[in-house]
Structure 1
Amino acid sequence: MNTTTRISTAERLGRSIGRGWRTYVRGERRLSNWLASKGMPMVGVAVLLWVVKLVALGLLFYAAFWLALLLLLGVAAAWMVSNSATNDDRWAQPDELRNGEAGFGLYSSSGQRIDPHDPNAPFND
Protein backbone atom coordinates (compact mmCIF):
# COMPACT_ATOMS: atom_id res chain seq x y z
CA MET A 1 0.00 0.00 0.00
CA ASN A 2 1.34 3.38 -0.97
CA THR A 3 1.59 5.80 1.98
CA THR A 4 1.97 8.96 -0.09
CA THR A 5 -1.21 10.96 -0.44
CA ARG A 6 -2.22 12.10 -3.87
CA ILE A 7 -4.05 15.26 -4.76
CA SER A 8 -7.40 14.61 -6.40
CA THR A 9 -8.38 16.20 -9.67
CA ALA A 10 -10.99 18.35 -7.93
CA GLU A 11 -8.42 19.68 -5.47
CA ARG A 12 -5.96 20.38 -8.27
CA LEU A 13 -8.66 22.24 -10.21
CA GLY A 14 -9.62 24.23 -7.11
CA ARG A 15 -6.04 25.21 -6.46
CA SER A 16 -5.54 26.39 -10.03
CA ILE A 17 -8.76 28.43 -9.90
CA GLY A 18 -7.58 29.94 -6.61
CA ARG A 19 -4.23 30.87 -8.13
CA GLY A 20 -6.01 32.48 -11.05
CA TRP A 21 -8.29 34.45 -8.74
CA ARG A 22 -5.35 35.69 -6.65
CA THR A 23 -3.57 36.76 -9.84
CA TYR A 24 -6.67 38.66 -10.98
CA VAL A 25 -7.04 40.43 -7.61
CA ARG A 26 -3.35 41.39 -7.60
CA GLY A 27 -3.66 42.81 -11.11
CA GLU A 28 -6.81 44.73 -10.20
CA ARG A 29 -5.09 46.18 -7.13
CA ARG A 30 -2.07 47.19 -9.22
CA LEU A 31 -4.35 48.85 -11.79
CA SER A 32 -6.32 50.74 -9.14
CA ASN A 33 -3.08 51.93 -7.46
CA TRP A 34 -1.69 53.04 -10.84
CA LEU A 35 -4.89 54.95 -11.68
CA ALA A 36 -4.85 56.58 -8.23
CA SER A 37 -1.20 57.57 -8.70
CA LYS A 38 -2.17 59.30 -11.96
CA GLY A 39 -4.63 61.49 -10.05
CA MET A 40 -7.93 59.62 -10.43
CA PRO A 41 -10.06 59.61 -7.26
CA MET A 42 -10.50 56.21 -5.56
CA VAL A 43 -14.30 56.40 -5.98
CA GLY A 44 -13.80 56.83 -9.73
CA VAL A 45 -11.39 53.90 -9.80
CA ALA A 46 -13.90 51.68 -7.98
CA VAL A 47 -16.73 52.75 -10.31
CA LEU A 48 -14.56 52.11 -13.38
CA LEU A 49 -13.59 48.65 -12.17
CA TRP A 50 -17.23 47.77 -11.45
CA VAL A 51 -18.30 49.02 -14.89
CA VAL A 52 -15.65 46.81 -16.51
CA LYS A 53 -16.82 43.82 -14.45
CA LEU A 54 -20.48 44.40 -15.31
CA VAL A 55 -19.70 44.79 -19.03
CA ALA A 56 -17.76 41.50 -18.95
CA LEU A 57 -20.67 39.81 -17.16
CA GLY A 58 -23.10 41.21 -19.73
CA LEU A 59 -20.98 39.84 -22.58
CA LEU A 60 -20.91 36.43 -20.91
CA PHE A 61 -24.69 36.44 -20.53
CA TYR A 62 -25.06 37.53 -24.16
CA ALA A 63 -22.89 34.65 -25.37
CA ALA A 64 -24.68 32.19 -23.07
CA PHE A 65 -28.05 33.34 -24.43
CA TRP A 66 -27.07 32.65 -28.04
CA LEU A 67 -25.53 29.29 -27.14
CA ALA A 68 -28.70 28.30 -25.28
CA LEU A 69 -30.80 29.41 -28.25
CA LEU A 70 -28.69 27.29 -30.60
CA LEU A 71 -29.04 24.33 -28.25
CA LEU A 72 -32.83 24.74 -28.12
CA LEU A 73 -33.02 24.98 -31.92
CA GLY A 74 -30.94 21.82 -32.20
CA VAL A 75 -33.18 19.97 -29.76
CA ALA A 76 -36.29 21.17 -31.61
CA ALA A 77 -34.84 20.07 -34.96
CA ALA A 78 -33.95 16.64 -33.57
CA TRP A 79 -37.45 16.29 -32.12
CA MET A 80 -39.01 17.22 -35.46
CA VAL A 81 -36.84 14.71 -37.31
CA SER A 82 -37.69 11.94 -34.86
CA ASN A 83 -41.42 12.64 -35.20
CA SER A 84 -41.45 13.12 -38.96
CA ALA A 85 -43.68 11.21 -41.38
CA THR A 86 -40.82 8.91 -42.41
CA ASN A 87 -41.34 6.97 -39.19
CA ASP A 88 -44.99 6.42 -40.07
CA ASP A 89 -46.40 2.91 -40.22
CA ARG A 90 -47.36 3.45 -43.85
CA TRP A 91 -43.75 2.82 -44.82
CA ALA A 92 -43.23 -0.21 -42.63
CA GLN A 93 -42.41 -3.44 -44.36
CA PRO A 94 -45.24 -5.97 -44.50
CA ASP A 95 -44.95 -9.23 -42.69
CA GLU A 96 -45.22 -11.59 -45.65
CA LEU A 97 -46.44 -12.27 -49.15
CA ARG A 98 -48.88 -15.15 -49.20
CA ASN A 99 -52.08 -16.53 -50.64
CA GLY A 100 -54.82 -15.70 -48.15
CA GLU A 101 -58.59 -15.20 -47.97
CA ALA A 102 -58.47 -12.12 -50.23
CA GLY A 103 -56.08 -13.71 -52.74
CA PHE A 104 -52.34 -13.45 -53.13
CA GLY A 105 -50.89 -10.30 -51.56
CA LEU A 106 -49.30 -8.70 -48.55
CA TYR A 107 -50.73 -9.79 -45.22
CA SER A 108 -50.00 -8.63 -41.69
CA SER A 109 -49.23 -11.04 -38.87
CA SER A 110 -52.87 -10.80 -37.78
CA GLY A 111 -54.02 -12.15 -41.18
CA GLN A 112 -55.40 -8.93 -42.69
CA ARG A 113 -54.51 -7.91 -46.20
CA ILE A 114 -52.61 -4.65 -46.14
CA ASP A 115 -51.94 -3.90 -49.81
CA PRO A 116 -54.60 -2.27 -52.00
CA HIS A 117 -56.44 -4.77 -54.13
CA ASP A 118 -59.46 -4.88 -56.38
CA PRO A 119 -61.58 -7.97 -55.75
CA ASN A 120 -63.22 -7.59 -59.18
CA ALA A 121 -59.94 -7.55 -61.13
CA PRO A 122 -59.85 -10.11 -63.97
CA PHE A 123 -56.67 -11.91 -62.85
CA ASN A 124 -57.45 -12.08 -59.12
CA ASP A 125 -57.50 -15.54 -57.50
Structure 2
Amino acid sequence: MSTRTRISNAERFGRCLGRRWRAYVRRERRVSGWLIAQGVPTPAAAVLIWGVKLAVLAVLLYTAFWLALLLVFGVAAAWVARNTNWNEPQPEWRSGNLGFGLYHPDGSRIDPHDPNDEM
Protein backbone atom coordinates (compact mmCIF):
# COMPACT_ATOMS: atom_id res chain seq x y z
CA MET A 1 0.00 0.00 0.00
CA SER A 2 1.34 3.40 -0.97
CA THR A 3 1.81 6.11 1.64
CA ARG A 4 1.74 8.87 -0.95
CA THR A 5 -1.41 10.93 -0.95
CA ARG A 6 -2.85 11.85 -4.29
CA ILE A 7 -3.74 15.46 -4.99
CA SER A 8 -7.38 16.16 -5.69
CA ASN A 9 -8.77 17.70 -8.83
CA ALA A 10 -9.54 20.89 -6.93
CA GLU A 11 -5.92 21.20 -5.78
CA ARG A 12 -4.69 20.47 -9.30
CA PHE A 13 -7.04 23.15 -10.67
CA GLY A 14 -5.86 25.65 -8.03
CA ARG A 15 -2.23 25.01 -8.88
CA CYS A 16 -2.98 25.48 -12.57
CA LEU A 17 -4.69 28.81 -11.83
CA GLY A 18 -1.74 29.87 -9.67
CA ARG A 19 0.74 29.07 -12.43
CA ARG A 20 -1.29 31.01 -14.95
CA TRP A 21 -1.59 34.00 -12.60
CA ARG A 22 2.17 34.04 -11.99
CA ALA A 23 2.78 33.83 -15.75
CA TYR A 24 0.41 36.77 -16.29
CA VAL A 25 2.18 38.87 -13.62
CA ARG A 26 5.58 38.03 -15.15
CA ARG A 27 4.32 39.06 -18.61
CA GLU A 28 2.88 42.29 -17.22
CA ARG A 29 6.20 43.15 -15.53
CA ARG A 30 8.04 42.35 -18.74
CA VAL A 31 5.76 44.67 -20.74
CA SER A 32 6.10 47.38 -18.11
CA GLY A 33 9.91 47.07 -18.23
CA TRP A 34 9.85 47.18 -22.03
CA LEU A 35 7.73 50.37 -21.98
CA ILE A 36 10.09 51.99 -19.49
CA ALA A 37 13.09 50.94 -21.63
CA GLN A 38 11.42 52.62 -24.62
CA GLY A 39 11.39 55.92 -22.71
CA VAL A 40 7.85 55.95 -21.31
CA PRO A 41 7.79 57.39 -17.77
CA THR A 42 7.03 54.85 -15.04
CA PRO A 43 3.67 56.40 -13.98
CA ALA A 44 2.58 56.61 -17.62
CA ALA A 45 3.48 52.95 -18.16
CA ALA A 46 1.40 51.99 -15.11
CA VAL A 47 -1.53 54.07 -16.37
CA LEU A 48 -1.21 52.51 -19.82
CA ILE A 49 -1.24 48.98 -18.39
CA TRP A 50 -4.27 49.79 -16.23
CA GLY A 51 -5.99 51.30 -19.27
CA VAL A 52 -5.48 48.06 -21.19
CA LYS A 53 -6.83 46.07 -18.23
CA LEU A 54 -9.93 48.29 -18.04
CA ALA A 55 -10.48 48.05 -21.80
CA VAL A 56 -10.33 44.25 -21.65
CA LEU A 57 -12.74 44.28 -18.69
CA ALA A 58 -15.13 46.56 -20.62
CA VAL A 59 -15.09 44.22 -23.63
CA LEU A 60 -15.76 41.22 -21.39
CA LEU A 61 -18.65 42.96 -19.63
CA TYR A 62 -20.11 44.10 -22.96
CA THR A 63 -19.96 40.56 -24.31
CA ALA A 64 -21.42 39.13 -21.11
CA PHE A 65 -24.29 41.63 -21.27
CA TRP A 66 -25.26 40.64 -24.80
CA LEU A 67 -24.93 36.94 -24.06
CA ALA A 68 -27.14 37.36 -20.97
CA LEU A 69 -29.70 39.31 -23.02
CA LEU A 70 -29.66 36.58 -25.66
CA LEU A 71 -30.19 33.98 -22.94
CA VAL A 72 -33.14 35.95 -21.51
CA PHE A 73 -34.78 36.19 -24.94
CA GLY A 74 -34.18 32.49 -25.53
CA VAL A 75 -35.77 31.58 -22.20
CA ALA A 76 -38.72 33.90 -22.91
CA ALA A 77 -39.23 32.38 -26.37
CA ALA A 78 -39.08 28.87 -24.91
CA TRP A 79 -41.61 29.84 -22.22
CA VAL A 80 -43.98 31.34 -24.81
CA ALA A 81 -43.63 28.28 -27.05
CA ARG A 82 -44.30 25.98 -24.10
CA ASN A 83 -47.43 27.86 -23.05
CA THR A 84 -48.91 28.15 -26.55
CA ASN A 85 -51.62 25.69 -27.41
CA TRP A 86 -50.74 24.72 -30.97
CA ASN A 87 -53.67 22.31 -31.38
CA GLU A 88 -56.40 24.83 -30.59
CA PRO A 89 -58.14 26.16 -33.73
CA GLN A 90 -57.23 29.79 -34.36
CA PRO A 91 -59.54 32.56 -35.63
CA GLU A 92 -59.17 33.22 -39.35
CA TRP A 93 -60.06 35.88 -41.88
CA ARG A 94 -62.70 34.61 -44.32
CA SER A 95 -66.04 35.32 -45.95
CA GLY A 96 -68.87 34.07 -43.78
CA ASN A 97 -72.59 34.64 -43.14
CA LEU A 98 -71.97 38.24 -42.09
CA GLY A 99 -69.49 39.10 -44.85
CA PHE A 100 -65.72 39.13 -44.87
CA GLY A 101 -64.20 39.32 -41.39
CA LEU A 102 -62.42 37.56 -38.56
CA TYR A 103 -64.35 34.41 -37.62
CA HIS A 104 -63.99 32.07 -34.68
CA PRO A 105 -63.77 28.36 -35.59
CA ASP A 106 -67.35 27.88 -34.31
CA GLY A 107 -68.60 30.29 -37.04
CA SER A 108 -69.23 33.43 -34.95
CA ARG A 109 -67.74 36.70 -36.12
CA ILE A 110 -65.16 38.21 -33.77
CA ASP A 111 -64.28 41.61 -35.21
CA PRO A 112 -66.60 44.60 -34.68
CA HIS A 113 -69.04 44.78 -37.55
CA ASP A 114 -72.02 46.93 -38.42
CA PRO A 115 -74.42 45.11 -40.81
CA ASN A 116 -75.92 48.46 -41.95
CA ASP A 117 -72.49 49.68 -43.05
CA GLU A 118 -72.05 47.12 -45.86
CA MET A 119 -72.35 48.18 -49.49
With the length of structure 2 as denominator, give the TM-score of the two structures.
0.69
1:27 aligns with 2:27: yes
- Deviation string 1:20-74 (CA, Å, 9 cap, x unpaired) is 0100100110111111111110010000000000000001001101110111111
Aligned to 1:46: 46
Query: Deviating runs (4+, > 6 A) in structure 1?
Result: none
Structure of greater Rg: 1
* Residues 1-125 of structure 1 mapped to structure 2, 5 A cutoff: 2-86=2-86
Root mean square deviation, CA, Å:
1.9
Query: Structure 1: how far apart are the matches of 2:3 and 2:86?
Result: 61
With the length of structure 1 as denominator, give the TM-score of the two structures.
0.66
- Deviation string 1:75-121 (CA, Å, 9 cap, x unpaired) is 00110011102376x8xxxxxxxxxxxxxxxxxxxxxxxxx9xxxxx
Structure 1 portions without partners, runs of 5+:
91-115, 117-125
Give the total of aligned pairs.
Answer: 90
SS in 1 for 2:86: helix
Q: 1:74 to 1:3 in 2, by over 3 A?
A: same
Query: Structure 1: how far apart are the matches of 2:8 and 2:46?
Result: 38
Structure 2 portions without partners, runs of 5+:
90-105, 107-119
